[in-house]
């Protein structure tokens, strides 16, 4: 089967790496792919905003499945267009993708279906938002309603911080995504990421992960798209997984069926594990990045039947198997990220780094130019390692990073610290 993967990040590299292991794969194409995917997939120059161009390519190349990695083409309705052309595509349709595309949309569903989440209010202008802030005070969570590349969430610990965040959003710091904001009560607990795949009717739970959103050690600094992750998340017990399915995932899928837009694809729930159980922070309508990298590292079963089953609407006979080993990934980013950063710098030492036991390097913001790997994005590489413990996986990842020559890059030095602290006390 010929397969087309839409996207260019570390998530798409990890998906390509895993899909390429399937004996059912014919030719794998990536649009556009990145500098590390060339050994796995044929990179193509395809305008994914032109649905007809994607459809025509799929028809010309006899594509049997399209895997849509990023959120933007999902929210844009690419899966709907492909489905209308009888081309199986993994991912939700446009209406279902609003679970990520609009935080207010998701919070309203939570309210109607009694899904546990923080109290909230949707606001469309600065004066009303400030008035609401005066009523509820701080700490408070302020979110741009639309897509903001994982950066549109501000945890304001004081009213001054909250007012500044509101002013920035309504003045356009996140573009159209901030035209409406969602203000939420601050939740205390430990965050975890939970993934399930749905065919529109039933959902199959996958694995758990924990990510590190802020730029600097100690969970300090600005929010990013993610600076590292590990799997599984120790905080997510079997009982909490079952509770999440029963109180969060399944009611959400019921809501989408009731709206006439059954959810197909992977549903990624960002959770806060509170004293009363899991509460939904937000949904993503696709695999997380960098969480996908650690999930694909741990998955031992063939992923292709699961993706295809979801796309065609039947995963009833699917199972997923996981390695007992832990997986951890560290993001190497360009200095200055998530703000401005330099592009076009050269990266060396990747071959030596990839020889460390248990290490796989997934590329994100890279390009291959004249035999060299060049940094072209903010988050550039994902140094992913497996091990019997999170500590071992972490040690392997950072050992590999020491061999990479890229003075223009940086990473956090404490990825996995919560899980390692647990390991050291058990």
Quote the pLDDT of residue 343. 97
Residue found under tokens 């990266």:
347
Provide the token pair at 26: 């014919």
pTM of the model: 0.94
Distance separating alpha carbons of residues 307 and 79, to the nearest angstrom = 13
Distance separating alpha carbons of residues 324 and 209, to the nearest angstrom = 14
CA-angle at 209, arms to 31 and 71, nearest 5° = 30
Low-confidence ranges of the chain (pLDDT < 70): 150
DSSP secondary structure, 229-261, as one string: EEES-TT--HHHHHHHIIIIIHHHHHHHHHTT-
Provide the token pair at 236: 């997510």
Q: What do you get for the CA distance between the two ends of the chain, in Å?
A: 46
Quote the pLDDT of residue 172. 85
Quote the pLDDT of residue 151. 72
Domains and their CATH numbers in the chain: 2-93 (3.40.50.20), 119-185 (3.30.1490.20), 190-312 (3.30.470.20), 326-425 (3.90.600.10)
HEC assignment per residue over 142-187:
EEECCCCCCCCEEEECCHHHHHHHHHHHHCCCCHHHHCCEEEEECC
Quote the pLDDT of residue 161. 93
- The predicted-structure confidence for 6-27, as pLDDT tens digits, reads as follows 999 999 999 999 999 999 999 9
């Amino acid at each position: 089967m010929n397969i087309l993967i839409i996207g260019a990040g570390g998530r798409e590299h990890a998906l390509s790496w895993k899909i390429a292991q399937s004996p059912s794969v014919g030719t794998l194409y990536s649009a556009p792919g990145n500098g590390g995917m060339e050994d796995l997939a044929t990179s193509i120059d395809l305008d994914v905003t032109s649905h007809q161009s994607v459809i025509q390519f799929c028809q010309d190349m006899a594509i049997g499945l399209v895997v849509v990695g990023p959120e933007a083409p999902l929210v844009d309705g690419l899966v709907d267009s492909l489905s209308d052309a009888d081309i199986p595509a993994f991912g939700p349709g446009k209406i279902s993708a609003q679970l990520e595309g609009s935080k207010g949309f998701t919070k309203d569903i939570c309210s109607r279906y009694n899904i546990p989440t923080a109290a909230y209010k949707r606001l469309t202008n600065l004066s009303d938002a400030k008035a609401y802030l005066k009523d509820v005070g701080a700490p408070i969570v302020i979110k741009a309603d639309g897509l903001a590349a994982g950066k549109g969430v501000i945890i304001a610990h004081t009213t001054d911080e909250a007012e500044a965040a509101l002013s920035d959003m309504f003045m356009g710091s996140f573009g159209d995504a901030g035209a409406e904001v969602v203000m939420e009560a601050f939740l205390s607990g430990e965050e975890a990421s939970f993934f399930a795949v749905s065919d529109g009717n039933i959902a199959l739970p996958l694995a758990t992960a924990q990510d590190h959103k802020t730029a600097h050690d100690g969970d300090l600094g600005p929010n990013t798209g993610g600076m590292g992750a590990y799997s599984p998340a120790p905080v997510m017990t079997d009982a909490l997984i079952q509770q999440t399915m029963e109180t969060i995932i399944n009611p959400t899928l019921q809501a989408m069926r009731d709206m006439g837009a059954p959810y197909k694809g992977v549903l990624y729930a960002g959770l806060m594990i509170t004293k009363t159980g899991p509460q939904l922070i937000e949904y993503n309508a696709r695999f997380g990045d960098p969480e996908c990298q650690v999930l694909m590292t741990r998955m031992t079963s063939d992923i292709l039947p699961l993706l295809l089953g979801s796309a065609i609407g039947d995963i009833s006979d699917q199972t997923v198997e996981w390695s007992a080993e832990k997986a951890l990934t560290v993001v190497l980013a360009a200095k200055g990220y998530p703000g401005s950063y330099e592009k076009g710098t050269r990266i060396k030492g990747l071959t030596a780094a990839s020889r460390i036991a248990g290490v796989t390097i997934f590329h994100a913001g890279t390009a291959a130019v004249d035999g060299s790997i060049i940094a072209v994005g903010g988050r550039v590489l994902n140094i992913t390692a497996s091990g019997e413990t999170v500590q071992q996986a972490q040690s392997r990842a950072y050992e590999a990073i020491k061999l990479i020559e890229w003075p223009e890059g940086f990473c956090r030095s404490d990825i996995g610290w919560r899980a390692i602290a647990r390991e050291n006390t058990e």
